[in-house]
Structure 1
């Protein structure tokens, strides 16, 4: 993951209704959903940062919460690569001066593209320049295309730069491509597109203590049901009190035992400590094998020994 970049003042997070403080007035804005803050998003953000430096302005991200798809299709949960807190943390790592989070509600959904430009970009933010990706659409019915945005900027007196797609071996880097990779267990490919291993944050909860009986005490976490990561065994790292620890994790339904709701169970190598109730970050580095059902506890333990060895090797 990128290291924070030094700035003269802290990264600011503002709601869409808050007035910009003086140090952020007339910013260059990078606008988008930015789920994952992947390498394609970082190309947009990097362009905004370059333009802000040349103009002597602050650089801000303008983003939306909840994800617009969650508003329009509430019965179809969105697999978020980065829920809001993680997204803002990743945006802060890029060197931006702050982020404006627009609440995506019925009022914003009903605002047409021209009104969005007039009310938000000009009226609320007073933009000096707007940078967006090639596929960014906004306004009622997605009526605001990149071409529309560029033309609106010309009419209203602010420049617009549209950043072309970032390609990885000929394929476009996108949030949907990363989700598809994770759904197939291709976490290394997802990490390449993200620019860092994909990670989740969740609270450590009490489980059935079965892992302890098997010699593999695990951290149990329930993830957002919308997460459709491939079930299986992974080499992972876990951040505990600022230190990164290596481990092996199972994500799935535990077919040998109960076939229950999907759960993440992580065995942290060479660590002992009570972490119940803590919110921890688990990063996925390598997919080792699919989830299997074993005929005996002995066979399961033998496989867990092998999984741990393979995870240690994968993590170096």
Structure 2
């Protein structure tokens, strides 16, 4: 069971020696997983606890608040995916401008060694840390010598074939922008996930035989607009008694993500039609939406009849993709 701490003050005083890694871990893709797996192995070899330190909000959101980064995953999914690698603990450090003022030496000495009891640090080759991102691998090696702690450097991770591109969050975002959800899932090691709260919409879907759950998305990178096959899961009923029995159940869904040109809306909408659940009531519930495959872009079908015909085809395609 992985412990989650929201500050150094929450970390048990008797935790003992640790091996630590530090990163934003956006998406927790296979490259991140390689670092975290090495962290766990290095900690076990030393008889220490493995601890991953990550940040919330993302540092870019603090240093450039007018240019918020588009994160692949929200903090809930980041924590869940880090925990799956078997780490003993996760510190979700609140990132502030004051915190960012620590020099590389202060961060390693005061935060990691004195604060977390680190006897070793495991990181990827591209790690940067400390004020102005001034610290790099060579800085870390020198600090390791000064402080008497081990430094484990994990090489770039990629597919095994020659010339393979290294796994990265940038690559995942590119694939999501292209609508290549299958390729993105290979790098992430899981489906791309959106999280949102179900809200009231125009209720047009109910009138034409395709009632949808309209999501107010609060976490997850918005991929290429269009129609997707996916899985909807209720994670919190949010006071909706009708949704309680569905918590944790994965429901096959046809997902529309974008602007509905046919009915003249001009705002981004994320709607999920759960197959074979025409009377589903999820209002107020928080749900996760795992996107499996992109089918087509958002189109103007010229009227309701054309839209209904297209939706029948979309649902049939989703059944095939999801084997539902």
TM-score calculated relative to the size of structure 2: 0.91
Listed as ranges, the matches of 1:65-80 within 5 Å are 65-80=56-71
The 2-side partners of 1:146 and 1:268 are apart by 48
Matched, 1:184 2:178: yes
| Pairwise CA distance, 1:226 | 8.4
Equivalent residue, structure 2, for 1:283:
290
The answer as to 2:55 corresponding to 1:49 is no
Q: Is 1:305 equivalent to 2:312 in the alignment?
A: yes
Kept in 2: contact 1:24–1:57 (CA 8 A): no
Specify the SS of the correspondent of 2:172: helix
How far the C-alpha of 1:23 sits from its partner, in A, is: 5.4
Aligned-residue RMSD, C-alpha: 1.6
Match of 1:114 among 105, 109, 115: 105
Question: CA separation of 1:307/1:206 partners in 2, compared to 1, >3 Å: closer, same or farther?
Answer: same
Residue segments in structure 1 that go unaligned for 5+ positions in a row: 1-9
Q: Deviations over 1:220-262 (max 9, x none)?
A: 0122498441110000011131111111100001111233321
After superposition, the C-alpha distances for 1:1-56 in whole angstroms (9 at most, x for unaligned) are xxxxxxxxx32111333153255322111211111111111100000111111111
In the alignment, is the contact (CA less than 8 A) between 1:206 and 1:276 conserved in 2?
yes
Name the CA distance, whole Å, in 1 between partners of 2:99 and 2:251. Answer: 43
1-structure distance, mates of 2:110, 2:136: 17
Structure 2, unaligned runs of 5 or more: 235-246
Residue among 243, 262, 265 paired with 1:259: 265
Does structure 1 residue 211 correspond to structure 2 residue 205? yes
Aligned mates of 1:85, 1:300 — CA distance in 2: 36
SS at match of 2:199: coil
Q: State how far apart, in whole Å, the 2-side matches of 1:226 and 1:267 are.
A: 19
Cα displacement (A) at 1:96: 1.0
Q: 2:249 aligns with which of 237, 243, 247?
A: 243
2:193 equivalent in structure 1 = 199
In 2, the alpha carbon distance for the partners of 1:247 and 1:17 equals 41
For 1:173, the equivalent position in structure 2 comes to 167
Tell which deviates more after alignment, 167-176 or 26-35: 167-176
> May I ask how many residue pairs the two structures share in their alignment?
307
